[in-house]
Amino acid sequence: MIPTTLDLTADPDGIARAADLLRQGLLVAFATETVYGLGGDARNGEAVAEIYEAKGRPSFNPLIAHVASVEAARRFVDWSDHAETLANAFWPGPLTLVLPLRDGHGISPLVTAGLETLAVRVPVHQTARDLLAAFDGPVAAPSANPSGQISPTTADHVRAGLGGRISAILDDGPCGVGLESTIVGLAGEPTLLRPGGIALEDIETALNTRLHLHQVGDHLTAPGQLQSHYAPDAPVRLNAVLKQGEEVLLGFGPVDCDLNLSESGNLIEAAANLFAALHSLNETGRPIAVSPIPDHELGAAINDRLRRAAAPRDS
Ligand code: TXA
Ligand code: MG
């Protein structure tokens, strides 16, 4: 237990203090364009172990290393033409690339959970970029929520889930994209490992090829294999047109509902609102029904998260 989790503002002083804490092997949650990340020095095994501990995360589920630039990424992974194409098109931004680890990488094996590959991402959010520049090293950062629960898109969400377990929160308001990064595996054939903030269609256009879709049950541990995830306390029912019983309705488009992801039916707006809406409806303590969401562009990633929120729980 850490007696006080510091609230740091995203100004030069706050960024410098956050970078100092990371250098000391401590954990700092920070704003990114997707969701808040729980950062620790990716080269420091103890710091990375603390990330797993704070989240209660199963140790087989590997972490993303956040870096400041393509040049920084290339120090840790074997680069490729596909990586170059996708980095040119979408970095900095909500895309994570999984590539073979490079010799002499120096990344803690706890980050990759023993895999021969590393997930790397260059975020576009100014606070994340400033922190990475000030720290000048790779930052391992999963989403800053207790494992299996709803991802955080505000500093308040982080504090509610991890307050007292981490050293500081670098607050920079709500996250703009609101969904985690899209993860593309490039260690073999280009493969979609997780839908997210960049639409699959845009990635396929940039690569001029179709992506393989990661099959649940493949040996690699990717988020798609954790069936129940992003889970509120109450049950979630999808593709609901009308409320039943005690339910609250999370709407999409012009529907009569308790909270609307986007009245105009805009998928980008709905993605940005998704996790905050689930956090807020969760507080009502009532079961949650959700309107149908179209399954293209960011809708595919929204539906992915909603299916997991609705999946049967282990306990
Ligand atoms: O937007 C994001 O990606 C956020 C922000 C903080 O950057 N991070 C995030 O991290 O969503 P996390 O840990 O919640 O999800 C990363 C997923 C993990 O579930 C893991 O299965 C997958 O990435 N992953 C990490 N390394 C991998 C690897 N080498 N091969 C396959 N999947 C990997
Ligand atoms: Mg997560």
CB 177 within 8 A of CB 94: yes
Pair of tokens at residue 272: 């940005």
Is the CB of residue 180 below 6 angstroms from any atom belonging to ligand 1?
yes
Pair of tokens at residue 108: 């803690």
**pLDDT at residue 221, as a whole number:** 46
Q: Which atom of ligand 1 lies nearest, measured to the CA of 220? A: 31
Is the CB of residue 40 below 6 angstroms from any atom belonging to ligand 1?
no
Residues 294 and 297: their CA atoms lie apart, in Å, by: 9
**pLDDT at residue 314, as a whole number:** 57
Q: Which atom of ligand 1 lies nearest, measured to the CA of 222? A: 21
Pair of tokens at residue 203: 């990635």
CB 230 within 8 A of CB 150: yes
CB 288 within 8 A of CB 278: yes
CB 310 within 8 A of CB 232: no
Give strand pairing partners of 240: none
| Ligand minimally distant from the alpha carbon of residue 275 | 2
pLDDT along the chain (315 residues), means of 10: 88 98 98 98 95 87 96 98 98 98 95 94 98 98 95 98 98 97 96 97 97 66 56 92 96 98 97 96 96 97 94 69
Q: Which atom of ligand 1 lies nearest, measured to the CA of 37? A: 6
**pLDDT at residue 312, as a whole number:** 82
The 3-state DSSP class for residue 55 equals: helix
Strands 248-251 and 259-260: parallel
Q: Which atom of ligand 1 lies nearest, measured to the CA of 144? A: 6
State percent of the chain over pLDDT 70: 93
Give strand pairing partners of 39: 28
Pair of tokens at residue 11: 């100004």
| Ligand minimally distant from the alpha carbon of residue 67 | 1
Is domain 6-213 given the CATH code 3.90.870.10 in the classification?
A: yes
**What is the separation, in whole angstroms, between the first and last Cα of the chain?**
25
Q: How many CB atoms within 10 Å of residue 158?
A: 27
Residue ranges of the domains in the chain?
6-213, 236-310
Residues 79 and 137: their CA atoms lie apart, in Å, by: 18
Residues 271 and 252: their CA atoms lie apart, in Å, by: 11
Task: Name the residue of 96, 116, 121, 132 to mutate for ligand 1: max ligand atoms within 8 A of Cβ.
Answer: 96
| Ligand minimally distant from the alpha carbon of residue 35 | 1
Is the CB of residue 260 below 6 angstroms from any atom belonging to ligand 1?
no
Which 8-state DSSP code applies to residue 101? B
CB 260 within 8 A of CB 251: yes
Residues 158 and 147: their CA atoms lie apart, in Å, by: 12
Is the CB of residue 175 below 6 angstroms from any atom belonging to ligand 1?
no
Is the CB of residue 33 below 6 angstroms from any atom belonging to ligand 1?
no
Q: Which amino acid is at 263?
A: E
